[in-house]
Amino acid sequence: MSYQGVVLATILISAFGCLLMGFWANLPLILMPGMGINALFTFSLVQGMGLSFEQALAIVCVSGLIFIVLAFTPLARMLNEAIPLVLKQAITVGLGLFLIFLGLEKGHVVERGAHSILALGPLNDKFVLATLLTLLVTMILLIRKVPGAFLISMLLGTGIGYLFGVAGKVTDSSLSLAPLKDVFF
C-alpha cells in the first residue's frame, strides 16, 4: 500500500469522524481508526495469513458492516450482556499490552532475541534512549493527571528526538493528495 495514501486517508477519515461526532452527535470526542484493527490488518491478515492488502481491506470492510448492524440493532445490547465483564477487561488489557509491546519494538527497546523470544535492545543507542525518555515523560504526565498529557508527550517526544538527533525527516512530498487524485479529482 502507498505509505502516503495510507497516512492521508487516515488523516482525512479521522477529521471526518471528528467533525461528524462534533456536529451531528454534538459530542466533543476525537475519533480515529482503532489500533486494534490496524494490528489485526497488518500482523494477522497480511503478514500472518499471507493475504493481499486488497483482500484484508475487504475483510475489514465486511467487519465494519457487521459492526454497523450490531450497533444499530438490539444485538449490541444482547452481545454486551452475553460477554462476562472479566473477559471484556481481559481483552482491553491484552490489546493494551500488545500495543505497548509494538511501541517498545518500534522504539528498539525490545527486539528478537538470539537465545530467547525477546531481548533488551541496546540501551546505549540514542534512539532507544529517546524512546525511554519520552515514555518516562508520558508516564509522569499521566500519573500527575496533566490535561492533554498525550499531546504534550508527543510534542516533547518530538523535541527529544530532535535533541538526540533521531527525528525523522520531512520532505516536500511527504504528504500529498497525489495518491487520491484518481479518486477525487
Confidence of residue 110 (pLDDT cuts 50, 70, 90): very high
Across 75-80, average pLDDT: 89
- pLDDT of the residue at 185: 47
Distance between CA atoms of residues 68 and 76, nearest Å:
10
Place of cell 490496524: 38
Predicted pLDDT of residue 8: 85
DSSP 173: T
Residue 110 neighbours by CB distance under 10 Å: 17
In a domain, 10, yes or no: yes
In a domain, 94, yes or no: no
What pLDDT was estimated at residue 132? 94
Instruction: Please give the pLDDT value at position 182.
Output: 52
**Burial zone of 128 (CB within 10 Å; 0-12 exposed, 13-18 middle, 19+ buried):** buried
Model confidence, pTM: 0.59
The verdict on residue 126 lying in a domain is no
Share of the chain above pLDDT 90, in %: 34
**154-165 as b/e, with b when 16 or more CB fall inside 10 Å?**
eeebeebbeebe
Asked if the structure places residue 137 within a domain, the reply is: no
Residue 108 has pLDDT above 70, yes or no: yes
The yes-or-no verdict on residue 1 having pLDDT over 70 is yes
Q: Which tens digits make up the pLDDT trace of 59-77?
A: 888 988 998 888 889 988 9
Average pLDDT over residues 116-132: 91
What is the rounded average pLDDT for all residues in the chain?
Answer: 84
What pLDDT sits at residue 23?
87
Asked whether residue 6 carries a pLDDT value surpassing 80, the answer given is: no
The pLDDT value recorded for residue 177 is: 54
* Residue 17 within a domain: yes
**Single-letter amino acid code for the residue at 100:** I
Burial class of residue 109, CB neighbours in 10 A (0-12, 13-18, 19+): buried
Which is higher by pLDDT, 170 or 19? 19
Residues 48, 59: contact at Cβ < 8 Å? no
Supply the range of the domain harboring residue 18: 1-33
CB 22 within 8 A of CB 28: yes
pLDDT per position as a tens digit, 127-185: 999 999 999 999 999 999 998 888 899 899 999 999 998 876 655 555 555 555 554 44
Domains identified in the chain, total number: 1
